A and B are shown apart, each in its own frame.
Chain A
Amino acid sequence: MSAPCAAWGMARTSLTTPWHAAYILHSRPLAEHKVILQLLLPELGRLSAVVRKRSGKQRQPLQPFQLLTLQLTGSHELKTILKLEEQAPGIPLQGVALLCAFYLNELLCRVWPDNLASDQLFSLYQTALQHLQQQPAQLEQLEPVLRQFEFALLAELGQPVDWQLDASGQPLQPQLCYSWQHEQGWCPAEQGFSGLLLQQIDQGFWSEPGCRQAAKKISRMLLQPLLGDKPLQSRGLFSQRIPETARMPWQDEHS
């Protein structure tokens, strides 16, 4: 095909190709003028796509936490981005909230399978980012956002946590202890998480330090099989040296 015909074909394709909302989760250089993006899209889930850094004179807005609209092409797993535009101003995340947002991105890239479609994932992610931005930069306010996202993510992956009923369908009792059994749920046990704490997590008593700590332990326990042996870099990166004021909500107090 001659060059003008090819250009005409491309223009015609871009007119008929649907536009998708998307967030960039990660980018890495492919060549001098191209990058490979990890994208999160409504319905399509997470996928990889190649894009040019510039479109004509214009530098492409290729930052995470910025709602984009884009056109994808390609029948293979790795797509190509035909056009990309900003759909809304970037979410102005700063400080600990920004680091938390990077944690969400790493978590998604690690546990969400490539090209697995999801109805809810995109809006869950978007809501979490908005909540991170709205909260003051204090751990008590940021931790619940991460926990709620983690539990919602697990539910989307087919591993929901029932905070009201145990494995046999009986309501959780505040005076009993429960342990988590894979593919069953909460089972009464001599040691484990108290029913009271599980009820507090269900009711969002996040101002209670015990409730936040239990939620963190449960989320870590449930995410562990999905993460495998390789730990989340975000946890390790900040474990030793993060200043007290910026200690990450996913860190243990003494790690």
Chain B
Amino acid sequence: MTANTPLLQQLIDALKALPGVGPKTAQRMAFQLLERNREGGRKLGTALLHAMEHIGQCQSCRTFSEQELCAICSDPSRSQSSLLCVVGSSADLQAIEQTGQFDGRYFVLMGQLSPLDGIGPAELGLDRLEQQLAKGDVEEVILATNPTMEGEATAYYIAELCHRQQISVSRLAQGVPVGGELEYLDGSTLSHAFSGRKRF
């Protein structure tokens, strides 16, 4: 029998929705907020409520946005670019934005094809991507899906869509990370690095 009050148990159950949080961690988090940081708990609750109610998806690229169009898609210099970068998640979009290397537009899949997880083309919004490609203003699609087998399958599927519309497709290079040590690399990464080597 649980010694928790109904409200406390409700809080613990709710915290278990967070990734990687089990019953013990959820209980620890709940006690921490109640014992030491009630103000932080209130802010967390308010922020969660507002975020869940007001953050939607950009109608164009599908990244998280509070407006119909996100900041990138609202920027005329970017929304009219002929370069479209397809990424797996909003976090990937942020990572590419931080490099400052890319000034085109994005399409965020919010996942990757994975039959065993029940994620297919519809879940990735590929019908919407196909509609965008059909408009004819995209000259090159850059596939920036993860270098995993699921990412590879996703990239292949999207590449087929692009080929049907006669749109050029490129894929991010794969190889040795900056600051990495060769002896700690797995064989697949090293193989990719060798096959994709550049003239020096």
B148 touches A63 (CB 8 A): yes
> In whole Å, how far is A117's beta carbon from the nearest beta carbon of chain B?
22
For chain B residues 103-162, which have a beta carbon within 8 Å of chain A?
Answer: 113-122, 126-127, 148-150, 152-153, 156-157, 160-161
A63-B149 in contact given A29-B19, A232-B115, A233-B116 (Cβ < 8 Å): yes
Closest chain B CB from A177 CB (angstroms): 35
A98 partner, pick from B117, B121, B152, beta carbons under 8 A: B152
Residue pair A233, B184 in contact (C-beta under 8 Å): no
Q: Say if the beta carbon of B188 comes within 8 Å of chain A.
A: yes
Q: How near does chain A come to B52, taking the closest CB pair, in angstroms?
A: 22
Contacts of A102 in B (CB 8 A): 113-116, 149-150, 153
- Contact of B153 with A98 in the complex, beta carbons under 8 Å: yes
B164 at interface by CB-CB < 8 Å: yes
B127, closest chain A residue (CB): A241
A98 and B151 CA atoms in complex are apart in Å by 11
Contact B115 A233 (CB under 8 A): yes
Answer whether A246 and B121 are a contact pair too, CB < 8 Å, given A29-B19, A59-B186, A86-B187.
no
**Proximity bits, A149-192, B CB within 8 Å = 1, else 0:** 00000000000000000000000000000000000000000000
Report yes or no: B188 in contact with A90, Cβ–Cβ below 8 A.
yes
What B residues does A29 contact at CB under 8 A? 19-20
Query: How far apart are the CA atoms of A237 and B149 in the complex, in Å?
Result: 17
With the chains together, A78 CA to B126 CA distance in Å? Answer: 36
Residue pair B116, A89 in contact (C-beta under 8 Å): no
Let me know if B191 is at the binding interface, CB within 8 A.
yes
Q: A26-B116, A95-B156, A109-B116 are in contact. Are A58 and B188 (CB under 8 A)?
A: no
Q: Which of A216-243 contact B (CB under 8 A)?
A: 232-234, 236-238, 240-243
B152 partner, pick from A61, A94, A240, beta carbons under 8 A? A94
CB distance from A191 to the nearest CB of B (A): 34
Contact A245 B187 (CB under 8 A): no
Are A61 and B115 interface neighbours, CB within 8 A? Answer: no
Minimum CB–CB distance from A92 to chain B (whole Å) comes to 9
Contact A233 B160 (CB under 8 A): no
Residues of A within 8 A of B148 (CB): 63
Residues of chain B at interface, number, CB under 8 A:
31
A66 is an interface residue with CB less than 8 A from chain B: yes
A99 and B19 contact, Cβ closer than 8 Å, known pairs A63-B188, A86-B187, A89-B191? no
Q: In the complex the two chains form, what is the Cα distance from A31 to B24 in whole Å?
A: 13
Those of B54-82 within 8 Å (CB) of chain A: none
Given the complex of chains A and B, what is the CA–CA distance between A101 and B164 in angstroms?
24
Task: Give the shortest distance, in Å, between B22 (CB) and chain A (any CB).
Answer: 8
A231 to chain B, nearest CB (A): 11
CB-based contact B186/A86 at 8 Å: yes
CB of A206, distance to nearest CB on chain B (Å): 24
B119 proximity list for chain A (CB < 8 A): 237
**A64 CB-CB contact with B under 8 Å:** yes
Say whether A32 faces chain B, with CB atoms less than 8 Å apart: yes
Q: Are B156 and A241 in contact (CB under 8 A)?
A: no
Chain B proximity mask over A56-76: 1 for CB below 8 Å, otherwise 0: 011101011110000000000
| Other-chain contact of B161, A28, A30, A59, A243 (Cβ < 8 Å) | A243
Q: Indicate whether A105 reaches chain B with its CB closer than 8 angstroms.
A: yes
**Least distance between B46 CB and chain A CB atoms (Å):** 26
Which residues of A76-130 have CB atoms within 8 Å of chain B's CB atoms?
86, 89-90, 93-95, 98-99, 101-103, 105-106, 109
Q: Can you list 11 A-B pairs, Cβ within 8 angstroms, ordered by A?
A: A26-B116, A61-B186, A63-B149, A64-B149, A90-B188, A93-B149, A234-B115, A237-B115, A237-B120, A240-B122, A246-B157
Given contacts A90-B188, A243-B164, A245-B163, 13 further A-B contacts (CB under 8 A): A25-B116, A32-B20, A63-B148, A90-B187, A94-B152, A94-B156, A95-B156, A102-B153, A105-B115, A106-B116, A236-B120, A237-B113, A237-B120
